[in-house]
Amino acid sequence: MRSGAVWAQQAKLLPSDGAVEDSFGISVALLGDTALVGAWGDSDQGIYSGSAYVFVRSGAVWAQQAKLLPSDGAASDLFGGSVALSGDTALVGGATQRRPGVILRLGVCVRAERRNLDAAEQAPAQRRGGERLLRP
């Protein structure tokens, strides 16, 4: 939060199940009162399978709303390596050819996987952990 020329920390976001090797915060997207945070080292679906967390702000308090995992996650996907938000849509990318990205629709305490991105839908430079950008 900025007041004039001075920046002050408003909150510290931490995952409910974080571990040292998760790389929580490797990518961050902020849109209004919603933050999407990547953790490509998370190992819930295999070593370095990755995940992303949704945080929502109510007043001055940020709370974790969801943990996002792909339905077909596997070791070394590095899911969460890049994240983007636009409206109620989140894009979570991985840094491997097998896991180029997943588009998700966010809702109140729920998420539904919309579809996987095919590597052919991305420019060659984006296929391995490149930045993702959503346009309204």
Where b means 16+ CB within 10 Å and e means fewer, 46-58 reads eebbbbbbbbbbe
| Tokens matching residue 26 | 């490797």
Report the pLDDT averaged over residues 71-85: 91
Cβ 92 vs Cβ 36: under 8 Å: yes
Q: pLDDT band at 125, cuts 50/70/90?
A: very low
For residues 3 and 28, the model is more confident at 28
Residue 116 predicted with pLDDT over 60: no
For the entire predicted model, the pTM comes to 0.79
Q: pLDDT band at 88, cuts 50/70/90?
A: confident
| Cα gap 95→40, rounded to integer Å | 9
